[in-house]
Structure 1
Amino acid sequence: MVDVKQRSSEGSPPDGGWGWVIVGSCFMVTVCTRAVTRCISIFFTELQAHFGADYSETAWIHSLLDCTTMLFAPVGSLIGTRWSCRGTVMLGGLISSCGLLLSSFTSSLELLYVFMGVLTGLGFALCYTPAIALVGCYFRRRRALAYGVAVSGSGIGTFVLAPAVQRLIQRYTWRGALLVLSAFVANLCVCGALLRPITLRGEEADSEGEDRRGPVSPQDAQLAVKRSHQSAGGCSSLGASPSPSSSPSLPLLPGNPAPQVERRRCFSSWSSREYRFLLLPDFLLLAVSFLFLASGCSLPFVFLVPCALHAGVSHQHAAFLMSILGVVDIVGNITFGWLTDHRCLKPYRLTCYILSVAMEGLCCLLVPLLRSFPVLVPFAVLYGYFDGAYVALIPVVTSDVVGAQHLSSALGVVYFLHALPYLVSPPFAGWLVDITGSYTATFLLSGSAQLASALILCTAAGIRCCLHHPPAHKE
């Protein structure tokens, strides 16, 4: 049987076949990481009663989990790129499962910060980014649809896990529920085992430029082969000796630092190629907008259930709101992914992304007016749909900006930018709840941050349009 690396490197992304197994594995990775993270807020009431803590103290658990996941996302991307996506995800599954297992035996809130927040988040970071990036390597024409199906695991996972976790807490207490979640998260090791590696040429990996390439000249083909040999022989494995044909032989005398110098030179050269997208103005604007988005997007998932309970909604109905949000999130993932794959909408992917983020912000601004379960249901439907839409479009928009060959590293940076806002926003929002006695300021903060994110990209897109198409002057 021909090795998949050899077959894939000789052509374009397969757009199917084993790629759908990769999508299914990534789907389960998002269930075991993002959906579990969303359901952590269901434990807050029990933890507050057990440890005598307030909202701001318990919110640090969710903040540390989300922050660590995003903070170490570049580490997961780097290890997955340089070592193996399969091994990275399996290692992350083992670490996160151990983190939840240790959390079920903790006797203080500070230990929950370490085990449930930091250790579990580190495992999630090693799993999430490599799995997401590998989907983009297997798909070109149907990339948005593949991403939509893959990240819909967070929605369907929330729909299933929210009531299940609530039932587990009632039946086995919060410690037993964490023990069951630990076993569930261990399935990440199985998902990682299914992530078969694939290698694509840089030119083939560029989905937007591939269809526009003309015939390749013999000189270009010879140059491409030469570059591939240099990358494979020179810096593909750090510490490998340089080829005799590429550099003169050096006497390896005792204490000669040549191998170390060559190793550092190879790593520096690889890093400069891998992260050159950081200098793109479009990516910098996208990064700034992500900072504002991350400051507000996680707050509804943290405070929706406590807000509903504060409004007099029962525990079961409050957990059901999270289920509604999760199942509609799936619809947003898949429908926006399917729609933006059509030829007529491909040039407007960024516009669709901006629209979905702006609608999320408007939904949050209306939450202070919603004081009962029947009126909170429409919020859960609308917010869940547009949340699924923008989450599915983040890898697609990022790929459109940096190119598919840099997608893994770019996603690591993108998720890294979420780290600080994820760390600070929930405790700050919990502090607002403690001092005001209501959730109005919290949801106003969330909506304002998301509208600011959409406004930054909308302004940048308008400026670019004016620069590329200046108005005609009448003589």
Structure 2
Amino acid sequence: MAKVNRTRSTSPPDGGWGWMIVAGCFLVTICTRAVTRCISIFFVEFQTYFSQDYAQTAWIHSIVDCVTMLCGLGFALCYSPAIAMVGKYFSRRKALAYGISMSGSGIGIFILAPVVQLLIEQFSWRGALLILGGFVLNLCVCGALMRPINLKEDQTTPEQNHVCRTQTQDFKQASPCSTWTKEWVQTCLCGSLQQEYSFLLMSDFVVLATSVLFMAYGCSPLFVYFVPYALSVGVTHQQAAFLMSILGVIDIIGNITFGWLTDRRCLKNYQYVCYLFAIGLDGLCYLCLPMLQSLPLLVPFACTFGYFDGAYVTLIPVVTAEIVGTTSLSSALGVVYFLHAVPYLVSPPIAGWLVDTTGSYTAAFLLCGFSMIFSSLLLGFARVVKKMKKTQLRFLAKESDPKLQLWTNGSVAYSVARELDQKDGESVALAMLGSSPT
């Protein structure tokens, strides 16, 4: 097997082969997220064929999404690595690159929704799934486009791992079965894992992870129940597929335009705020959905929800990179998407159970809406508390010592001036002792 030549760079190139990475990630999102979201069109077919209620049928979609986010199986082997690669190749235009990459989900829904409905009518749901399976094989082409890159901040880690492997091999040659070898291997593994996942102890990441749980609970059921809800209020099958297409194409606009806008100088420092703003507006859309019971009213909903869905999806990797940095971005994104798994698994069946119990979609949609609004409020509250703490530290520093220079790293603060004064005093004392007669 030929050796893979790694592209060497000191900083993200913000272009070049990076645009091929963006193209690969774009195709990955079409083959993964778009295909799974089009399962909503299969929902009524599954329910009719298997004679099951909403809660039981919803497990089909929820298991697909859960396994994608939870394991190293299926779509998970393509989705998370492709997104992480975009973050490695772009820095200055990261939000725009992610906007283009993640727009594949919207474009896929826009194209696949009517196509899937047509395939079901022509070849039944079994034939439609078979054709979609052949389409998903294009993920192999996407993987061929991915080229590794070594960044400046990543150069220390491979060296440390090389030293660890070299020393481990020396120990194995000396005594293959010795307990020292096992202890040394465990130490190396623990050290590398501790360095790779140190972001788990960051308070900002813990808040982000908690908010993701509520956000993921809210966003999933719509793509399962939007078509059935539209059919329940008198919309035809073709019109329901058309609504999904509208949602998909507006999702594209949200991906690209929101990514471009948040890369502008005026909004560059407010990407975090834009992220929670988009989540909150999607939650408000959910609260209005039970009142929309005709096609002319559902079209504006599909436009609004689709736009802000594309907006916050684009900013998830950007906000994660802002918190943990690019060095741990791949692992952090893995954790973030892993946290989507449980809400994706339970939210559609819970929503289906509410529909079966109450006989309407109102309770299910309201629960999803409040969940997303809570996610947004949690992030906003955490950011306000953090700014208040920083302001308080600066104020205390100025009050205690006018020469105090405050350095912040989370909640850590220390004075450079005091340390320099202390060192100067020690050096003067040593000089006086050295010049004094014995």
TM-score tier by shorter-chain length is: 0.7 to 0.9
1:440 correspondence with 2:370: no
Q: 2-side partners of 1:138 and 1:312: how far apart?
A: 48
1:303-452 maps to which residues of 2 (within 5 A)?
Answer: 303-452=225-374
- What's 1:209 paired with? none
Paired position in structure 1 for 2:55 = 56
The 2-side partners of 1:459 and 1:431 are apart by 32
Native 8 Å contact 1:4 1:198 kept in 2:
no
The structure-2 alpha-carbon separation of the partners of 1:390 and 1:250, relative to structure 1 and needing over 3 Å to count, comes to closer
Q: CA deviation at 1:243?
A: 7.8
CA distance in 1, matches of 2:257, 2:289: 25
- Residue of structure 1 aligned with 2:147, choices 189, 192, 196: 196
Deviation, structure 1 residue 203: 6.7
Is the 8 Å Cα contact of residues 241 and 259 (structure 1) preserved in structure 2?
no
Judged with a 3 Å threshold, the aligned counterparts in structure 2 of structure 1 residues 169 and 272 are, in CA distance, closer, same or farther, namely same
Residue 6 of structure 1 deviates from its aligned partner by 5.0
Q: Deviations over 1:338-361 (max 9, x none)?
A: 111122211101100011001000
* 2:281 counterpart SS class: helix
Separation in structure 1 between the aligned mates of residue 160 and residue 372 of structure 2, nearest angstrom: 45
8 Å CA contact retained: 2:7, 2:148: no
Tell me whether 1:125 sits opposite 2:76 in the alignment: yes
Separation in structure 2 between the aligned mates of residue 179 and residue 45 of structure 1, nearest angstrom: 18
Instruction: Supply the distance in 2 between the matched residues of 1:317 and 1:262 (Cα, whole angstroms).
Output: 63
Q: 1:250 to 1:301 in 2, by over 3 A?
A: closer
Match of 1:24 in 2: 23
CA offsets, 1:345-379, max 9 Å, x none? 11101100011001000001000110000100000
Aligned to 1:86: none
Question: How big is the alpha-carbon RMSD for the aligned residues of Structure 1 and Structure 2?
Answer: 2.0
Determine helix, strand or coil for the equivalent of 2:6: helix
Contact 1:252-1:258 within 8 A present in 2 as well: no
Q: How does 1:75-86 map to 2 (within 5 A)?
A: 75=72
Instruction: Measure, in 1, the Cα distance between the counterparts of 2:179 and 2:141.
Output: 42
| Distance (Å, rounded) in 2 between the aligned partners of 1:192 and 1:384 | 28
Amino acid in structure 2 at the alignment position of 1:454: S
Q: Aligned partners of 1:33, 1:51: CA distance in 2, in Å?
A: 25
Shift of 1:233: 3.0
Inter-partner Cα distance in structure 2 for 1:131 and 1:254: 39
SS at match of 1:404: coil
* Counterpart selection for 1:148 from 90, 99, 105: 99
**3-state SS, counterpart of residue 405 of structure 1:** coil
Kept after mapping to 2: 8 A contact 1:321/1:377: yes
Residue of structure 2 in register with 1:12 after alignment: 11
User: Does 2:164 align with 1:234?
Assistant: yes
Partners of 2:169 and 2:49 in 1: CA distance: 64
Q: Using the alignment, how far apart are the partners of 2:301 and 2:34 within structure 1?
A: 19
Amino acid at match of 2:90: F
Number of equivalences: 393
Give the TM-score normalised by the residue count of structure 2. 0.86
Letter in 1 for 2:86: V
Query: 1:228 Cα shift?
Result: 5.7
Give me the whole-angstrom Cα distance separating, in 1, the residues matched to 2:48 and 2:20. Answer: 43
8 Å contact 2:99–2:314 — kept in the other structure?
A: yes
Matched residue type, 2:95: A
Instruction: Give the match for residue 179 of structure 1.
Output: 130
| 1:227-265 alpha-carbon deviations (Å, 9 max, x no partner) | 763333325xxxx54487xxxx68724632444433322
1:461 and 2:383 equivalent? yes
- In our comparison, the structure showing a higher alpha carbon Rg is 2
Q: Name whichever of 258-267 and 457-466 sits farther off.
A: 258-267
Query: Which of 156, 168, 182 lines up with 2:119 in the alignment?
Result: 168
Secondary structure in 1 matching 2:293: coil
Task: Check the 8 A contact 1:32/1:184 in 2, yes or no.
Answer: yes
Deviations 1:40-82 (A, max 9, x none): 111111111111111111100011011111112xx4xxxxxxx
Structure 1 residues not aligned, in runs of 5+: 76-121, 205-223
State the TM-score, normalizing by the size of structure 1.
0.79
Cα distance in 1 for partners of 2:110, 2:153 equals 39
Matched residues in 2 for 1:433 and 1:354: separation? 29
Query: Separation in 1 of the partners of 2:142 and 2:130?
Result: 20
Aligned equivalents of 2:16, 2:5: Cα separation in 1: 11
- Alpha-carbon spacing, 1:455–1:180, altered in 2? closer, same or farther (3 Å): same
Separation in 2, partners of 1:325, 1:416: 25
Q: CA deviation at 1:154?
A: 0.5
Aligned to 2:416: none
Task: Supply the AA of the counterpart residue of 1:418.
Answer: H
- How far apart in 2 are the matches of 1:445 and 1:229? 49
Question: Relative to 1, partners in 2 of residues 1:312 and 1:21: Cα closer, same or farther, differing over 3 Å?
Answer: same
Q: By how many angstroms is 1:299 displaced?
A: 1.4
Secondary structure of 2:74's partner? helix
Question: % of aligned pairs identical?
Answer: 59
Q: How far is the alpha carbon of 1:171 from its aligned partner?
A: 0.3
Deviations along 1:152-180, one digit per CA (max 9) or x if unpaired, are 10110010011111100000000000000
CA contact (8 A) 2:153 2:327 kept: yes
Question: 1:27–1:41: structure 2 CA closer, same or farther, 3 Å change rule?
Answer: same
Give the distance between the partners of 2:353 and 2:263, measured in 1 at CA.
Answer: 42
Instruction: Quickly say closer, same or farther: Cα 1:255–1:65, change in 2 above 3 A.
Output: same
Q: Whole-Å Cα distance in 2 between the matches of residues 175 and 425 of structure 1?
A: 26
Equivalent pair of 2:43/2:224 in contact (CA under 8 Å): no
Q: Quote the Cα distance in structure 1 between the aligned partners of 2:122 and 2:196.
A: 50
Q: Contact 2:58–2:352 at 8 Å: present in 1 too? A: yes
